Amino acid sequence: MDGILLVNKPKFITSNDMVIKIKKHINQKVGHTGTLDYAASGLMVLTVGKATRFTQYLQKLDKQYIAQGKLGEITDTYDSQGKVIQSNPVNITENQLREVISSFVGEYDQMPPPYSSKKIEGKRAYQLAKKGLQPPLKPVKVNIHSIEILEINIPYFKIKVDCSSGTYIRSLIKDIGDKLGCGAYMSDLIRTKVGEFSLENATDFEKILTLTSQEIENKLIPIKDALYFFDSITLNSQTEKKFKTGQKINLDLNKSGIYKVLDENQNLLGLGKYQEGVLKPEVVLS
């Protein structure tokens, strides 16, 4: 059982707990390509079996979210699960809110939330925050590709965000509130896309736990198809043997980077990194 499983995570379960339960149910190695907060729901892209060896490449895909923010309050976690640490009057117009939301499209330096999984000297930021310490976090450059305003009912607003991997929507909502001068926190979050993978094609977590191994296997996206974002190259039988044994291969390709490596029958052999005329195996499927 090897491939990609699209799962609709419900609210109020940790991503880790969900993965553990699915792993136990199918008795296979399972990885994830990016967590969702405890109170968030939506798409999680899981790697199963040999696909776990490609997890890191899937983690870098862009994301899409539908988020709701509440103006006038700031919480210590930047979301609805935290403690309100500041309340302010909301004296803004709908046009002001629209203008500020739109101003975040593009690249900007975003500060991760103190209650996040960012690692600081071997410890997670949230572990320090829970002890009352201020994690020494540094801003991260993120890219907000687009923001669609879905609904405004002050103090609430709902937006659809397309963004780079590593973007914290909690931080985006807080930054919008800060720029307006009244503060804000994220009151709801749904992840709707990871790269070209969509929530509408995902199976509910509770449903997964009722399916047989064969039924789940039928839902898996083949590894080759899941790596759609890499260009592919085909090796002949001679170079295929070299690749499988981890040897470097001299080739003439148009550009450097990671390639999806296929055999003459278009079966996936793995991933290779091409640079300066040489293809070096990165991941080799046995």
Contacts of 71 (CB under 8 A, 6+ apart): 90, 92, 97, 154, 155, 156, 157, 177, 180, 182, 183, 184
Residue 58, phi-psi category: left (phi > 0), alpha (psi -120 to 50), beta (remainder):
alpha
Euclidean distance between CA atoms 250 and 105, whole angstroms: 43
Give the integer Cα–Cα distance in Å for 262 and 266: 5
- H/E run at residue 215: helix 213-219
Residue keyed to tokens 């696909």: 51
Q: Please report, to the nearest 10 degrees, the dihedral formed by the alpha carbons of residues 257, 118, 137, 38 taken in order.
A: 130
Q: Which residue among 2, 37, 79, 178 is the active-site one?
A: 37
37 is known as an active-site residue: yes
Are 185 and 168 contacting, i.e. CB atoms less than 8 angstroms apart? no
Catalytic site positions: 37
